[in-house]
Amino acid sequence: MAVNKVLLVDDDPGIIEVLKLYFEKEGYQVSTCMQGDRAVGVFNQFKPDIVLLDLMLPGMDGNDICREIRKTSDTPIIMLTARTDTLDKIIGLELGADDYIPKPFEPKEVLARVKAVLRRTEKRDNGGASSEAESGKPDDIITYPGFSVDKIRYVVTVDGNEIYMPPKELELLFFLASNPNRVFTREQLLENVWGYDFYGESRTVDVHIKRIREKIENPDREQNWCIKTVWSKGYKFETR
């Protein structure tokens, strides 16, 4: 079984030391970086399976690092930040971060979040070769004309074209498409897709919906389905 590789990018030596200890105890291979302007180079050389990335770093901040990584890689990124402003979180999510963990945090929580993200990523990448994928469980594949969401292989297909989505975007789309024409509030979507342990605000849902729409909806082509905003309520996957 391959050893998962974790890249820790933080300028706090205490945080680096504690997290490195926890991850190595769990069998992970760990690389660390305390300078923002070195992080992308370390990433390219180490080729991690997941990145834990501080937002405020010397040389280059976490958002810029995330932007650079996303130009060439879909490796999961979890932001570690002392900032609590919703705008900071929204910017990071729009740049491609998969999750946020606010400081101070419990190392066990960070470890649990990393394990959860890696499970989703491995399922997406290896689902085509799994026995579950071969069985083709219908409950894990949602299909509409010209559109499908495959939660076994973690693939979205629109008009025959496969579209990349980070795990949380795909899971949000899958949940909505699994319940057509039903309105969900932002709080309900956070509860069902992120779970009770997610520390984000409801604005997080808006950011993910915006990114999903940009990838699957085409205003120049008639589609029998769309994600519709229900003002003052939330969202629904509408089928015609």
Strand partners, 8: 32, 52
d(CA 100, CA 90): 10
Average pLDDT score over residue span 19-35: 95
CATH class of 131-239: mainly alpha
pLDDT-derived band at 160, boundaries 50, 70, 90: confident
Q: Pull the structure tokens for residue 129.
A: 């070769």
Nearest Cα residue to 117 out of 170, 72, 64, 159: 170
Residue 52's identity, in one-letter code, is L
Do 36 and 59 form a contact (C-beta atoms < 8 A)? yes
The neighbour count for residue 239, using CB atoms within 10 Å, is 14
Average pLDDT score over residue span 190-207: 71
**Stronger pLDDT, 116 or 11, i.e. the higher one:** 11
Taking every pair of Cα atoms in the chain, the longest distance, rounded to a whole number of angstroms, is 55
d(CA 109, CA 129): 30
Average pLDDT score over residue span 91-108: 80
What is the SS3 assignment for 39? Answer: helix
Residue 164: predicted pLDDT: 80
Q: Do domains 5-124 and 131-239 have the same CATH topology?
A: no
Q: Does position 230 have pLDDT exceeding 60, yes or no?
A: yes
Average pLDDT score over residue span 218-224: 78
Residue 132: predicted pLDDT: 39
Residue 87's identity, in one-letter code, is L
CATH 2.40.440.10 for the 5-124 domain, yes or no: no
Residue 84: predicted pLDDT: 61
Q: Map out the domains of the chain as residue ranges.
A: 5-124, 131-239
Q: At what angle do helices 167-177 and 203-216 cross, to 10 degrees?
A: 80
pLDDT-derived band at 130, boundaries 50, 70, 90: very low
d(CA 235, CA 76): 26
Q: Pull the structure tokens for residue 72.
A: 């060439």
Q: Does position 129 have pLDDT exceeding 50, yes or no?
A: no
d(CA 153, CA 150): 6
Residue 89: predicted pLDDT: 66
d(CA 94, CA 208): 8
